[in-house]
Amino acid sequence: MVPLSWYMVLSMVVFAIGVFGFLSRKNVIIMFISIELMLNAVNINLISLSHYLQDMRGQILAFFVIAVAAAEAVIGLAIIIALFRNKATVHVDEVKEMQG
């Protein structure tokens, strides 16, 4: 039996990788994948805790997260495509229309 803390550590590591990837990579696709990593880290957390606590609500919430992630992926990719069409780039540091 794998102890709970292993799952926790895994989740944390995956989440940290996601955060680091999101903050450090310039390619918007990689950033997008990093976000997915973070979401999945949360899912690992939810499911392992659900199993540990014998409470199904955690797994239900994980399904929600997967569904939302899918929806988000659709919108995000659409935005990326629109961005690429207009700017011919997927590098975020070249997109700063919102600069103050």
Handedness of CA 71, 72, 73, 75 (dihedral sign): positive
Residues 6+ apart with CB under 8 A from 14: 37, 38, 40, 41, 44
Segment interacting with another protein, rule: CB under 8 A, options 16-24, 43-51, 71-79, 81-89? 16-24
Q: Which of 8, 19, 49, 83 binds another protein (CB under 8 A)?
A: 19
Q: Which of 10, 17, 22, 61 binds another protein (CB under 8 A)?
A: 22
By CB under 8 A, residue 85 contacts another protein? no
By CB under 8 A, residue 31 contacts another protein? yes
**Residue number with CB closer to another protein (88 or 100):** 100
CB 39 within 8 A of CB 69: yes
CA distance 87 to 54: 50
Could you list the residues that contact another protein (CB under 8 A)? 19, 22-24, 26, 31, 92-93, 95-100
